[in-house]
């Protein structure tokens, strides 16, 4: 018997879905099912009606053209996303959508794509591309492993907390040894890979926050993560 249904909303899968980011949605769906719940996937693209039932929101990366294509629509639903974040809905935003959840992204050409200001961050495009395997150390999740590929340099404001500190890689800007940003149950990060298959602790954290918000508690199952552990071991030992 199902413990209940959790609704996963994927933002802009047509425009913001590169470097394996679709795998984050698939991982959430499968782990929700392994924990004994039903999972419902809802894709949200420009012009769609934003769903009324939302338990987890996930979004991926995209090129500058993809960010420009979804910018107006994202800003139109921005107040609803901020309301949901303040209501403790868990969210995972990768790379391009991580940037646009901030105040703005300024391209190398000087074009400013305004964000929604949910995260207190600013991003400016640079000449150097930060690319390669990355390990981020987090007090809550331990080592988070992934792959980064971005030229945007993100700086955190005083209202944003980092996801973690960089052990290998560049992180937000290659200078301050910080990676990602957090606000309540929202995580923004540059880690592709995709992120969640190799980091089940992060996936289960999102699911737990969603279940507790929806049902008042989370009843997990024991999941055999031997393959995730092996993938993590290999990823951690890969050269930059």
Residues with a catalytic annotation lie at 95, 192
Helix (H) or strand (E) holding 112: strand 112-114
Output Rg (C-alpha) for the chain, integer angstroms. Answer: 17
Looking up tokens 């960010």 gives 67
For residues 187 and 93, is the Cβ–Cβ distance under 8 A? yes
Which DSSP symbol is given to 49? P
Question: Alpha helix (H) ranges present in 21-174?
Answer: 22-34, 64-86, 96-100
Q: What are the strands of the beta sheet with 181-183, ordered from one edge? A: 38-44, 5-11, 56-59, 91-94, 186-189, 181-183
Question: Alpha helix (H) ranges present in 165-225?
Answer: 195-198, 200-215
* Residues whose CB falls within 8 Å of the CB of residue 47, separated by 6 or more in sequence, listed in order: 73
């Amino acid at each position: 018997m199902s413990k209940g249904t959790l609704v996963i909303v994927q933002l802009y899968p047509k425009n913001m879905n590169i470097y394996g980011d679709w795998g984050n949605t698939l991982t959430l769906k499968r782990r929700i099912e392994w924990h004994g719940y039903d999972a419902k996937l809802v894709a949200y693209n420009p012009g769609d009606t934003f769903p009324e039932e939302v338990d987890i929101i996930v979004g991926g990366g995209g090129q500058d053209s993809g960010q420009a294509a979804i910018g107006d629509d994202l800003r139109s639903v921005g107040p609803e996303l901020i309301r949901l974040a303040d209501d403790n809905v868990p969210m995972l935003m990768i790379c391009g959508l991580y940037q646009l959840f901030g105040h703005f992204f300024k391209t190398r050409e000087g074009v400013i794509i305004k964000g929604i200001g949910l995260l207190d961050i600013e991003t400016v495009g640079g000449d150097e591309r930060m690319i390669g395997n990355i390990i981020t150390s987090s007090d809550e999740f331990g080592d988070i492993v992934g792959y980064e590929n971005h030229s945007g340099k993100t700086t955190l404001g005083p209202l944003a907390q980092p996801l973690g500190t960089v052990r290998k890689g560049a992180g937000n800007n290659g200078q301050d040894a910080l990676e990602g940003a957090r606000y309540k149950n929202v995580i923004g990060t540059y880690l592709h890979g995709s992120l969640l298959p190799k980091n089940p602790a992060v996936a289960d954290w999102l699911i737990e926050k969603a279940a507790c918000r929806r049902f008042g508690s989370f009843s997990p199952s024991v999941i055999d993560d031997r393959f995730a552990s092996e993938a993590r071991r290999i990823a951690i030992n890969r050269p930059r």
